[in-house]
Amino acid sequence: MFANVLEIARQLIRERVSSGETVIDATMGNGNDTVFLARLVEEEGKVIAYDIQEQALAKTRERLVQQELAERVELKLASHEEMALLDTQVAAVMFNLGYLPGSDKQVTTMAQSTIRAIQAGLELLRPGGMMTIMVYWGHPAGVQEKETVESFCQQLDQTKYLVLKYQYLNQKNSAPYLLAIERRA
């Protein structure tokens, strides 16, 4: 069986991130990727995670504390565009677009702020670093967001970035797919 797209995203990140590096979870949600990244960078590494909903921070904090990972993670109640304020190189940035599962479906990532966050994240990526963008587009703002994000990715300078799209072509119901951007070494 082919792996699901979320597992492919993690595989791409795992192949490139080393222990002790700094990485970003741009859309914390329930903390699944935050926990994944915290394990990956190990004790000496650092994860910076963003979400605009207090509920996401509370859930993520609880999971990190339970798993004794909280010390290596900085949780920010802020829009991911604020990555532009960071002054550090990072090995990876993970985005999971859409809404927080089990919460208000009206609160979603939005095309223009997502683009600003992707731009900021690409500036921070170290050579050889990886950005993954899981595109969940089965909600009202999702179609516009996916079109905007794809157009943006298509015009990235190929001498600096390589962009791949992983998508199952025969899945129904607006199945999520993955965009992966590598900063060329």
Ligand X SMILES: C[S@@+](CC[C@H](N)C(=O)[O-])C[C@H]1O[C@@H](n2cnc3c(N)ncnc32)[C@H](O)[C@@H]1O
User: Is residue 27 a contact residue for ligand X (CB under 6 A)?
Assistant: yes
What's the rounded Cα separation, in Å, for the pair 176 and 90?
25
User: Is residue 156 a contact residue for ligand X (CB under 6 A)?
Assistant: no
Interface residue with ligand X among 16, 63, 79, 86 (CB under 6 A) is: 79
Write out the two tokens for 8. Answer: 């492919």
User: Is residue 119 a contact residue for ligand X (CB under 6 A)?
Assistant: no
Interface residue with ligand X among 96, 120, 146, 149 (CB under 6 A) is: 96
* Region of 11-19, 27-35, 147-155, 163-171 interacting with ligand X (CB under 6 A): 27-35
Instruction: Please spell the DSSP secondary structure of 14-47, one letter per residue.
Output: HHH--TT-EEEES--TTSHHHHHHHHHHTTT-EE
What's the rounded Cα separation, in Å, for the pair 27 and 33?
9
User: Is residue 174 a contact residue for ligand X (CB under 6 A)?
Assistant: no
Q: CB–CB of 27/54 below 8 Å?
A: no
**Binding stretches for ligand X (CB under 6 A):** 27, 29-33, 50-53, 56, 79-80, 96, 98-100, 107-109, 113, 136
